[in-house]
Amino acid sequence: MRDEISLLKKYHDYLEQFISQLEKYSDDIIIEKFLQEKEKNKVSDIYQAIRLMRGNIYQSRNISAAILQLIDNWKQEQKIFFTSSIQSELQSLETVFRGFSHVIPQANLPVFGEGGLYFLLEGSEVLLVKYKIIHGYFLVCEPLFNRLDEKIQNEINPILKQKNQEVDQLIKDLQLYKGEASSRKTKEIYKKKYVDYKKTVDIYELYIMLLVCLSVTLVLGQLFAHSFFDSLNVSNAVMIKLTIIALIATLFAYCFKQISFYRKISEQAHQTYLELEALPEFLTHLPVEKQNEIRAELAKCYFGQNLFDSIKEDSASIQEQAKANTEVLKSTSALLDVIKKQSFPQN
């Protein structure tokens, strides 16, 4: 296609060159230079033939210029269709220009053929006919292309747009399914851990209820078994009571800490599960680079050091509470020793 368009432009340049040279000659000079002896009887009115020859060449130049100007606005496919339709005419034009060059070598056209004024006249007629045929193809193609563009715009494009939307939706659904499939195992793990931690919380809450019942039982037991404590000296009675209180307080504190710890990590597991559930839908609207960046950041939170550090903090808090309870027991023992020493001389 590009060669045919270049050929059209080259032939137009040939026309301009030939006309530029032809305008240097008057009619009399043309008769003097180009009219051959054998051609004198072929043309009745030589001047009329020269004017006709000039007119044919000028018309051909004008048609060529108009076609080249208008096809510049065409699409690539339209140019291909048009140039493939005029290949035979382009080949005929080459023969005419070579003949013109033989008659007027000053035009610097490709040399071919022989002849004089009569050949110039016949060549100009062939030239005009071929350019009119090319122009006819152009006149047929232009409304055809316009109609085709209108049909594409009004009928085909909406269908293609709808199909593209359907394809985009399918791609989006596929990406969503792919994201859900890739995170399904992780979601199952977090969901299972959430359930396990929730059960652990329920167990420790049950322990709290048992401790409450035990505490109430001990209080009631002391009311009905006060003779047992009366039989003991003051230090032993205080020791037993404080030990029981410290033990129950420690168990309460431990259970509350465990409940707080497992409730926290169960909520974290549940939150992570929900985030993983919503993540594929969220990522489908983002570029691939942004998706990978977000996945890398989330991986640090879901599988990295952050959650482990949080667990260590809660474990350390429980250990500190146990140490505090131990210190309470030590202080109680020291206090009882003092009471015992003060009470012994009285006994």
Q: Please give the Cα distance from 322 to 300 (Å, whole number).
A: 32
Residue that finishes a domain, picked among 160, 178, 210 = 160
Same domain? For 141 and 174 the reply is: no
Q: How confident is the model at residue 149 (pLDDT cuts 50, 70, 90)?
A: low
Same domain? For 334 and 191 the reply is: yes
Beta carbons of 17 and 108 less than 8 angstroms apart: yes
Same domain? For 171 and 141 the reply is: no
Q: How many residues does the chain have?
A: 347
Same domain? For 285 and 316 the reply is: yes
Same domain? For 86 and 234 the reply is: no
The pair of structure tokens assigned to 131 is 């350019």
Convert 199-231 to b/e letters by CB count within 10 Å (16 or more is b).
ebbeebeebeeebeeebeeeeeeeeeeeeeeee
Q: Please give the Cα distance from 111 to 97 (Å, whole number).
A: 8
Q: How far is CA 284 from CA 108, 139, 279, 281, 294, in A?
A: 66, 50, 9, 6, 12
pLDDT tens-digit profile of 53-95? Answer: 888 888 888 888 888 887 777 777 777 777 777 777 777 777 6
Same domain? For 196 and 132 the reply is: no
Q: How far is CA 301 from CA 188, 191, 282, 287, 306, in A?
A: 17, 16, 18, 22, 6
Same domain? For 173 and 95 the reply is: no
Tell me the residue range of the domain where 121 lies. Answer: 2-160
The pair of structure tokens assigned to 229 is 């404590």
Residue that finishes a domain, picked among 122, 142, 160 = 160
pLDDT tens-digit profile of 158-210? Answer: 777 877 887 777 777 666 666 666 566 666 777 777 788 788 888 878 877 88
Q: How confident is the model at residue 45 (pLDDT cuts 50, 70, 90)?
A: confident
Mean pLDDT over the full length of the chain: 70
Q: Taking Cα atoms as reference points, which of 159, 167, 241, 259 lies closest to residue 205?
A: 259
As a whole number of Å, the CA-based R_g of the chain is 53
Q: How confident is the model at residue 109 (pLDDT cuts 50, 70, 90)?
A: very low
Q: In terms of C-beta density within 10 A (0-12 exposed, 13-18 middle, 19 or more buried), how is residue 85 classed?
A: middle
Number of structural domains the chain divides into: 2
pLDDT tens-digit profile of 208-225? Answer: 788 778 777 766 666 665
For the chain, the maximum distance between any two Cα atoms, rounded to a whole number of angstroms, is: 170
Q: Please give the Cα distance from 312 to 259 (Å, whole number).
A: 15
Same domain? For 54 and 115 the reply is: yes
Residue that finishes a domain, picked among 109, 126, 160 = 160
Query: What is the pLDDT, as a whole number, of residue 57?
Result: 86
More confident call, 264 vs 287: 264
Same domain? For 265 and 224 the reply is: yes
Query: What is the pLDDT, as a whole number, of residue 285?
Result: 67
Same domain? For 222 and 131 the reply is: no
Same domain? For 179 and 323 the reply is: yes
Q: How confident is the model at residue 113 (pLDDT cuts 50, 70, 90)?
A: very low
Geometric angle at alpha carbon 209, from 204 and 214, rounded to 5° = 120
Query: What is the pLDDT, as a whole number, of residue 46?
Result: 78
Q: Please give the Cα distance from 51 to 31 (Å, whole number).
A: 12
Beta carbons of 220 and 179 less than 8 angstroms apart: no
For residue 251, the surrounding DSSP H or E stretch is helix 234-283
Same domain? For 186 and 91 the reply is: no
Q: Please give the Cα distance from 290 to 181 (Å, whole number).
A: 19
DSSP three-state, residue 225: coil
Q: Please give the Cα distance from 297 to 160 (Å, whole number).
A: 39
Question: Does residue 2 carry a pLDDT above 60?
Answer: no
Beta carbons of 52 and 121 less than 8 angstroms apart: yes
Beta carbons of 138 and 67 less than 8 angstroms apart: yes
Q: Please give the Cα distance from 46 to 52 (Å, whole number).
A: 10
Q: Please give the Cα distance from 259 to 251 (Å, whole number).
A: 12
Which residue in the block uniquely carries the two structure tokens 């129950």?
248
Which residue in the block uniquely carries the two structure tokens 């009366």?
230
Helical pair 76-85 and 2-22, crossing angle rounded to 10 deg: 60
Q: Please give the Cα distance from 113 to 101 (Å, whole number).
A: 9
Mean pLDDT of 116-132: 77
Beta carbons of 191 and 268 less than 8 angstroms apart: no
